[in-house]
Amino acid sequence: MLADWQLTEILLRGVAIGALCATAVAFARSGPGLSIRIAGLLFCASVMAYVLTSSPDWRDAEGYAGATVRLLSIGGGGYFWLFVFVLFEDRKITPVTLLPAAILTIVAIAGIVATQPLRANIWIAHNLIEIALAAHALFVIYRSWRGDLVEARRRLRGPFMAVVAIYTIVLSGFEIGESYGAYAAWYGIAGAATLAFFCLAGCFVFLDARPALLGAAAPPVRAERDGPRLDPADRLTLDRLAEAMGRGEAWRREGLTIAALAEQVGTPEHRLRRLINDHLGHRNFAAYVNARRIEAAKRILCDPAQTRTTVAAIAFDLGFGSLGPFNRAFKEATGATPTEWRKKAFETASPNPENTA
């Protein structure tokens, strides 16, 4: 017969799985993009798998049929990183983005089949990889949160996922301790309670799967600046913003932040964030700034007088810190790399030699 604390632990794990199922259904039904749906479902499935495999009762009961569940669980750190990367960077799932989960799975399988003491060392390496992925996810979350213009995402999405990343790091630390023999009887029920809390909180944050929380699926649409909600103070701020970004070309400054732009415009940061989001239709500050840079890049790349100017020189002149982000932003906006864009522009402008006398 099960003791009361065992029943409590089973109940808490059941609550966690129920919340994850509800969140997964929300992702499947209304996630704004295939990559977010897949990443969300993989993340939910891997957490459900961990809820089961971290239970002593499950470990005692599982057999061959539990192999799939265990595979999902041991790759969980990679699926969490994938979800964060797709969600906060607005990226698509590719073989490269699936690589961390695959590496974790391979390392864990090696740990399962190895003998002691090599097995313990492999599992420690597995946990260290999870810590590195969670730390990078935390960096991605912070970088995105800093430039996020959607208030709902700033209040809920960023802080919640940052806490989950920190929890993942702490949990991996505990698992490393277990590899060295550090284990307490209260680990099981404390872990179940923590998982139930986080899964319920995640269900609250993501249950609606609202596009405002999950990503910027649609391109920004410029709103009417003279709409009924725009008071004279806001109109004046938008005029100053237009001056700073137009004739002042503030977007050319490398590392431009919304705080620096707000100081230049002479308005509080939160007000400028709201105006750019509500009245100019942008969800992310980097996208707002890069839109100016990409338009300028198009003009330069099509200019015959600039044919000797390298793509790297154009990127640095327009405020990009390196060539990689410029190439990525340009391709996301135009569907072509800067080099491809330039080549196509000159091919279109050049006369066909076969039709010349």
The model's pLDDT over 67-103, given as tens digits with 9 standing for 90+, comes to 778 888 999 999 999 999 998 887 889 999 999 999 9
Give 125-190 as a DSSP string: HHHHHHHHHHHHHHHHHHHHHHHB--HHIIIIIHHHHHHHHHHHHHHHHHHHHHHTT---TTHHHH
pLDDT at 353: 43
- Bin 209: left if φ > 0, else alpha if -120 < ψ < 50, else beta: left
pLDDT at 65: 59
Q: Which two tokens stand for residue 54?
A: 């971290």
pLDDT digits (tens, 9 = 90+) for 17-52: 999 999 898 888 766 678 888 999 999 999 999 998
C-alpha dist (Å) from residue 200 to 8, 134, 195, 306, 353: 16, 21, 8, 56, 67
pLDDT digits (tens, 9 = 90+) for 312-342: 999 999 999 888 889 988 988 888 999 998 8
Q: Which two tokens stand for residue 17?
A: 């799985």
* DSSP 8-state code for residue 66: G
pLDDT at 45: 94
Q: How large a percentage of the chain has pLDDT more than 90?
A: 41
pLDDT at 204: 85
pLDDT at 60 over 60: no
The residues near 46 (Cβ < 8 Å, ≥ 6 apart) are 72, 73, 75, 76, 79, 80
CA 107, CA 92: separation in Å to the nearest integer? Answer: 25
284 forms beta bridges with: 148
Nearest to 87 by CA among 44, 52, 130, 131: 44
pLDDT at 272 over 80: yes
Asked if residue 91 lies in contact with residue 35, where contact means CB atoms within 8 angstroms, the answer is yes
One-letter amino acid of 167? Y
Q: How large a percentage of the chain has pLDDT more than 70?
A: 87
Token look-up 């490269």 returns: 96
Asked if residue 276 lies in contact with residue 287, where contact means CB atoms within 8 angstroms, the answer is no
Asked if residue 323 lies in contact with residue 312, where contact means CB atoms within 8 angstroms, the answer is yes
Nearest to 260 by CA among 147, 114, 165, 111: 147
One-letter amino acid of 269? E
